[in-house]
Structure 1
Amino acid sequence: MLTGLTIVFLGGDARQLEVINKCVELDASVRIVGFDKLESPPQGAINDTLSPELLGEADVIVLPVIGCDDQGLIAAPFSKAEVAMKQETFAAIREGTLVYTGMAKSFLKRMSAEYGFRLIELLDRDDVAIYNSIPTAEGAVMMAIQNTDITIHGSSCIVLGIGRTGFTLAKTLQGLGANVQVGVRREADVARAVEMSWKPFKTTDLSANTGDIDLIFNTIPTMIITAQIISKLPRKAVIIDLASAPGGTDFRFAEKRGIKALLAPGLPGIVAPKTAGIIIANTLCQSILDEFHLRGDEE
């Protein structure tokens, strides 16, 4: 149980509602900022306004999956007003306070180093990333169906990268009857691809493997689908880039050549916000329990 802990939520989308409900269920004192547009706010949570006093009282602070931008602006689609953290607001957070987000940009990391709060990035965890790969793969398939005039079954697909997301996606495409090639960097990944009956190639050889491709799915967050690669793609090809913005595709050149290229980061929160929220809620609450249990043992 989270009895006795004050947890402050700052902004967030539909996923965050699942996390709020879970914390209330576990008996935390929950204060929320950036949810004033909701007709039915989460039962048991108290709507509040952002202030140094509020943050100073918090044992745990929870930011959205993309914590804040480099100006401190927090995504708050359920708020009538802007939710923004200024440097002096960060200064009110007590040293050692747990601050959770999905992934942190440089500004948030700098504030953590300067003011001593503990920044925990949930998407760095293997368990969260693997669970999240399921709605990501489903969302990618949905986009492929919406943007092509062929079936996935029998199509020629490339998946670039077989990390946590790429592996699940390649397996999903294979299950739907696609012919799957995977672009990899390591010899171990070549072996894994062969074991899974996918056709592997080194990403450095991508240009030699694009001849009659219908779909390219990219999970690598560096420029990999360059103008040179796009110039060799058949015009029917569709690129779905799942990497964090700005992605790994030359979108300008793709548009110039008439190749459909779509940037689609954050698919779990778009296609399955309830499932994605439950994944985050379970992991975050267990992490809080573990952290405060450890502190209790140390005392």
Structure 2
Amino acid sequence: MLTGIQIAVIGGDARQLEIIRKLTDLDAKLSLIGFEQLDHAFTGAVKEKIDEVEFSNKDVIILPVPGTGSDGQIETIFSNEKVYLRKEMLNETPPHCTIYSGISNSYLDGITKQANRRLVQLFERDDVAIYNSIPTVEGTIMMAIQHTDTTIHGSTIAVLGLGRVGMSVARTFQALGANVKVGARKSEHIARITEMGLTPFYLSDLDNEVKDVDICINTIPYLIVTASVISKMPVHTLIIDLASKPGGTDFRYAEKRGVKALLAPGLPGIVAPKTAGKILANVLSQLIKEDVKK
């Protein structure tokens, strides 16, 4: 149980509702910021505006999966008001206060470091990333079906990166009958791709490897699908970029050439928010319990 634990949940999408539900069931006391338009009420949770929050008694702050923007703004689909997280707010919190976010950026890293507060990035955890890859893959399949006029079966698909998402994507599209090749940098990843029965290639050869692809799925969070790479693709190629914003694709050049390119971070929150929210809720509640015991 989390009786007596004071938690501020700031912004987010439908995934946060499962987190709120789980934490209130565990008897935590929640302040909900950026949820003015949420009709549902949770026992033990109070809707507040961020300038009304008493941060001095907060044991935990929970941010959405994307964390904050580069200026501190937090995405809030349940509110029309702009919500910002500032260093001054963190300075008001007790020294033991922990901030949980899906991912981080230089702004969030900076204010938590300046305030000397612990920041936990949930998507750096293998368990969260692996569980989360399941709805990500389902959403990727949905996008591939919606935006192509051929079957996945028999298509040639290039997956860039063999991380936790890349591995799940490659395996699933192979199971659907696609001809899947996977690009990686490390020799051990090339070996794993071969062991999985997929076609491996080094990312240094990407220009040559995209000449026959129907779908290119990128999981690498920096610019890799460059203008040079896109210029070698067939015009009918569909690019699905799963990397966090701004993705790893030159979207400007893709549009110029007439290649359809879709940036699709946060797919779990779109296609399966309930499942994705439960994944985060279970991990968060366990981490908070462990902190309470310390």
TM-score by length of 1: 0.95
Task: Give the aligned residue type for 1:140.
Answer: T
The CA deviation at 1:9 is 0.8
* 1:288 maps to 2:293: no
- CA distance in 2 between partners of 1:51 and 1:227 (Å): 45
> 2:149: which partner in 1?
149
Q: What do residues 258-287 of structure 1 show as CA deviations (whole Å, max 9, x unaligned)?
A: 111111111111111111100000000001
Whether the aligned pair in 2 keeps the contact of 1:60 and 1:99 (CA below 8 Å) is yes
Once the two structures are superposed, the pairs formed by residues 159-178 of structure 1 within 5 Å of their partners are 159-178=159-178
Tell me how far apart the structure 1 counterparts of residues 86 and 162 of structure 2 sit (CA, whole Å): 39
Once the two structures are superposed, residues 154-180 of structure 1 have per-residue CA deviations (whole angstroms, 9 ceiling, x without a partner) of 111000001100000001101111010
Pair 1:140-2:158 in alignment: no
| Higher mean C-alpha displacement, 115-124 vs 196-205 | 115-124
Per-residue deviation at 1:245? 1.4
Q: How many residues align?
A: 294
In the alignment, is the contact (CA less than 8 A) between 1:96 and 1:116 conserved in 2? Answer: no
Contact 1:8 1:61 in 2 (8 A): yes
1:105, 1:52 → 2: CA distance? 26
Deviation of residue 85 (structure 1)? 2.2
Residue 183 of structure 1 corresponds to 183
In 2, the alpha carbon distance for the partners of 1:217 and 1:171 equals 13
CA contact (8 A) 2:132 2:276 kept: yes
Using the alignment, how far apart are the partners of 1:282 and 1:106 within structure 2? 27
Alpha carbons 2:87, 2:114 under 8 Å: kept: no
SS in structure 1 at match of 2:50: coil
Could you tell me how far 1:231 is from its partner in structure 2? 1.2
Q: In 2, distance between residues paired with 1:193 and 1:201?
A: 9
Matches within 5 A, 1:225-264: 225-264=225-264
**CA shift for structure 1 position 80:** 3.5
Q: Which residue of 1 aligns with 2:275?
A: 275
Contact 1:157 1:216 (8 Å CA) reproduced: yes
One-letter identity of the residue aligned with 2:181: Q
Query: What are the ranges of 5 or more consecutive residues in structure 2 without an aligned counterpart?
Result: none
TM-score (ref. length: structure 2): 0.97
Q: Match for residue 102 of structure 2?
A: 102
Render the CA deviation track for 1:13-64: whole Å, top value 9, x for unaligned. 1000100000011111122111110122334311122247521111111111
> How large is the RMSD of aligned CA atoms in angstroms?
1.3
1:211 aligned partner: 211
Aligned residues of 2:21 and 2:42 also touching (Cα < 8 A): yes
CA contact (8 A) 1:33 1:49 kept: yes
- Alpha-carbon distance in structure 2 between the residues aligned to 1:80 and 1:264: 23
**Contact 1:156 1:213 (8 Å CA) reproduced:** yes
Once the two structures are superposed, the pairs formed by residues 5-84 of structure 1 within 5 Å of their partners are: 5-51=5-51, 54-84=54-84
Unaligned runs of 5+ in 1: none
8 Å CA contact 1:136–1:165 kept in 2: the answer is yes
Asked if the contact 1:11–1:75 (Cα under 8 Å) also holds between the matched residues in 2, the reply is yes
Preserved contact between residue 132 and residue 276 of structure 1 (Cα < 8 Å): yes
Find the aligned partners of 1:279 and 1:153 in 2 and give their Cα distance.
30
| SS of match in other structure, 1:81 | coil
Which deviates more, 79-88 or 61-70? 79-88
Paired with 1:163 and 1:53, the residues of 2 have a C-alpha distance of: 39
Q: Secondary structure at the match of 1:154?
A: coil
The separation in 1 between residues aligned to 2:7 and 2:86, in whole angstroms, is 20
SS state at 1:177 partner = coil
Using the TM superposition, give the Cα deviation of residue 88 of structure 1 relative to its aligned residue in structure 2, in angstroms: 2.3
Q: Secondary structure at the match of 2:205?
A: helix
Query: Distance between the aligned counterparts of 1:160 and 1:202, measured in 2?
Result: 10
Q: Deviations over 1:218-255 (max 9, x none)?
A: 00112111111111111111111111111111111111
Whether the 8 Å contact between 1:34 and 1:76 is mirrored in structure 2 is yes
2-side partners of 1:239 and 1:84: how far apart?
Answer: 33
For residues 234 and 49 of structure 2, what CA distance do their matches in structure 1 show?
Answer: 53
Q: Which residue of 2 aligns with 1:4?
A: 4
